[in-house]
Amino acid sequence: MRAFGSPPDLSAIKASYMVSLKADLSTLEGLQSEVDFGFAEPRTYQELRRLAHVHAGNAATFGFSALGDTARAVDIQLSETPGPSERLAPLIATWRRELQSACHSQ
């Protein structure tokens, strides 16, 4: 039992989060390929935005502020232009690098 006012032990939650990040990386790589090779469909952009929104909200909690910031930029870009755009591909590439870095930090 933890003392009142002491921070909770997030190690189990973080371990689960790290597993989910690895699955998300695989998903992002597939979605990025669809965008890069011109096979993206509306559902591709919807899934990218959903995933970016999740990362934007959760990453900083576990110490990955750069990942969260980059994901937020993707989320905002896709909310403004929910499809292909000149800015999207570079943002996705940066997000992927941040996600790879987070996955390899443990």
Answer for the pair 93, 48: CB distance below 8 angstroms, yes or no.
no
Predicted local distance difference test score (pLDDT) of residue 10: 75
CA gap 102, 18 in Å, rounded: 8
Give the 3-state secondary structure of residue 77. helix
Out of 2.60.98, 1.20.120, 3.90.1520, 1.10.3470, which CATH number does the structure's domain 12-103 have? 1.20.120
pLDDT digits (tens), the chain, 106 positions: 555 666 677 788 989 999 999 999 999 999 999 999 999 999 999 999 999 999 999 999 999 999 999 999 999 999 999 999 999 999 999 999 999 999 998 6
Predicted local distance difference test score (pLDDT) of residue 1: 52
Domain boundaries, given as residue ranges, for the chain: 12-103
Answer for the pair 70, 95: CB distance below 8 angstroms, yes or no.
yes
CA gap 69, 77 in Å, rounded: 12
Q: What is the pTM of this model?
A: 0.89
| Token pair of 23 as six digits | 């699955």
